[in-house]
Each structure stands twice: as structure tokens, then as C-alpha cells.
A = this chain, B = another copy of it.
């Protein structure tokens, strides 16, 4: 029984890694679609999100079965509940990469990013990919050292997000079409939220490794 549970827990961990790989891929391709205004690639990202949704569903079903059949306690129970929470965050990260791709599709053949903002979004895309990669690495090889890395990249994303508003505030009235400003605002928010969910995953890993919920509460 114990060994069965151990194997199933390993299986949940593998599924989380698989989800994080898909999320990383989605962010990478969404960035590429955005930078090169590539409709076909954007469609691919949008379509692929259903796979991530289904992975979450499968993982959640398995976690629920484990709770029902094995009735884990203490650290084992924390691991199953943590997996449920992490799968929800990863699913949401997939949604946000899809939202980026959807902005490309809505605005096509025009670019979703006005020229003036292309540098900032290149940097947001880089930070988005970095945090997706760090999340994948953290789940593949759980440890506390990745936690501050993820927090630092999240701060980069927060600063870039704020810099967008500073840039918008500086822009002379009439220099940007309202729909461009709306696009830029939403895109920036998607990257910023993507980072928040990566932090949330890293907090769960931290909690599982230490049993300490404090970071989860204090960083709210």
C-alpha cells in the first residue's frame, strides 16, 4: 500500500513537470507569435492550451482518487493538496500564454504591439520565458534555491509592468490609438499575472519542503 502511494505521488510529480514543460513551451511560442506577428503560431498556442487544461483535469482526478483510496496524512497529504494547487496555477499560466496569443489573433494583420513598446515586450517575453523555465526546473528538481530566483524574475515582471504605465503616461495625447493602449495594458497584465502564478507554484514547493505556510500568507 505504502509503495503504491509512493509511486502514485511520483506520478503526480511527473504530471506537474509535464504541465510545466507545456506551459514553458506555450510562453515561448506566444512570445514568438507576438514578436513576429505570426497568426499561424498564435493559433497553435491557442489550440495547445486545451492539452494543458486536460492535463490539469487528469491530475486532479488522480489526486482525488489518491485521497479517497489511500487517505494520506501529514507530509503525504500536504503533497497531494499541494499538487492540486500547483496544477491550478499551471493551468492558469497556460491560459495567460493563450491570452497573449489571442491578442495577436484579434489584432492581426496589424501588430498587437505599437513600435514604441516593442523593447519592453521583448524584455517581458524574456522574463516570462525565464520564469517558466525556472518553474519547470523547480518542479523537475525541487529545492529551495530556485525560490528566490523565481521571486527575482517576478520582480522584473512587476517593474516592467509598472514601466508600461509610466510610458503610457508620458506618451503625448493622440500619439497612440486607444485600442493600442488597451492592448498594451492587457498584454502587460498577462505577463505580470503569469509571474504571480509562478511565484505561487514556488511557494507551494517551499511549503512542501519546509511545512511552513508563512510565505504563502505573507506574500498575499
Contacts and interface: CB of A to CB of B under 8 A. Distances in A.
Contact of A68 (B50, B54, B77): B77
A34 to B, nearest CB: 17
A121 to B, nearest CB: 15
A165 B180 CA distance: 10
A1 interface: no
A79 B67 CA distance: 12
Stoichiometry, copies per complex: 2
A81 B67 contact: yes
Interface string A133-163: 0000000000000000000000000000000
Contacts of A189: 186, 189
A78 interface: yes
Contacts of A67: 67, 77, 81
A174 interface: yes
A171 interface: yes
A2 interface: no
A162 to B, nearest CB: 11
Given A81-B67, A165-B179, A57 B213 contact: yes
A4 interface: no
A84 interface: yes
A68 B71 CA distance: 7
8 contacts: A54-B217, A57-B217, A64-B81, A68-B73, A68-B74, A168-B178, A173-B174, A189-B189
Interface of A: 50, 53-54, 57, 61, 64, 67-69, 71-74, 77-78, 81, 84-85, 88, 165, 168-169, 171, 173-174, 176-179, 181-182, 184-186, 189, 213, 216-217, 220
